[in-house]
Structure 1
Amino acid sequence: MGIDLQLHNGRPHRHKRRQKQQPTLIRQSYEHGETLAGLISELPTNTSGKLWMVDPYRDTLFNEQVAEAALREIPDLLNRCTSEAQTEAVRDLAAFLEACATTPGSYLVFVGD
């Protein structure tokens, strides 16, 4: 089980459709997948937070507004870290959330296994 991160400049499409401009991948991270999945799966569910909604087995999309809201959860997630690997994974996630929140029209995709 792992969660990889992909930042796109628009909503990614599963099916090829005729469109004037296809979203493109801005950057991606596959380095912390298992660590990130473990941390997110331990979050309390059904809260006002956004990160608990990430499914480690399916793709989850955050737009810039959801990414901005999820950024507020990073301090709590950092407090839950018990290793340097976990801290690095959360910092990587924070960088992706920040990039998505500040890039109009972008989407952050959590790619589940």
Structure 2
Amino acid sequence: MGLELELHSSRPANSNWKKSRTTLVMGSYDHGNALAEVLTWLPNDGSTKLSLIDPWRDTLFNEQEAEVALKEIPDLLQRCSDPRHAAAVQDLEQLLRACSRTPGSYLWFMSD
């Protein structure tokens, strides 16, 4: 189980991988397993924005959702004792911040 992250300038055409490349701004493909592990620490009740990310199904956040999720990063980062987990959360933070600052953008959490 792992997650890859992609920031898109507009809603990605997830049913057509080639077409979705036209909106790709940046991606993160190196921390998928560590990020999935970190997300299991969150309550599974939807009480946080990041807890809505499903490691078995693709999830999209728009810029407003990314802005809300950014507020959850400091707490999550504080819980990281393993450098792999901290790197994954920092990478997520960078992409959430970029998404929140880019009108019309989407952050795509792509599951295995």
**TM-score with structure 1 setting the length:** 0.90
Structure 2 stretches lacking a partner, 5+ long: none
Name which of structure 1's ranges 60-69 and 45-54 shifts more when overlaid on structure 2.
Answer: 45-54
Residues 77-92 of structure 1 mapped to structure 2, 5 A cutoff: 77-92=76-91
| Structure 1 position 14, deviation (Å) | 3.1
- Could you say what secondary structure the match of 1:96 adopts? helix
Distance 1:95 1:28 in 2: 11
Question: What is the percentage of aligned positions where both structures have the same residue?
Answer: 53
Structure 1 stretches lacking a partner, 5+ long: 17-21
1:24 aligned partner? 23
Distance 1:67 1:23 in 2: 21
Distance 1:70 1:78 in 2: 13
Distance 1:71 1:14 in 2: 24
The structure with the greater share of residues assigned to helix is: 2
| Structure 1 position 15, deviation (Å) | 4.0
Larger radius of gyration: 1
Distance 2:74 2:85 in 1: 13
Aligned residues: 108
2:64 aligned partner? 65
| Structure 1 position 80, deviation (Å) | 1.4
1:10 aligned partner? 10
1:81-104 deviation per Cα after TM superposition (whole angstroms, max 9, x unaligned): 011111111000000000000000
User: Counterpart of 1:11 in structure 2: which amino acid?
Assistant: R
1:31-78 deviation per Cα after TM superposition (whole angstroms, max 9, x unaligned): 000000000022012243100010111110000000000000001110
**TM-score with structure 2 setting the length:** 0.90
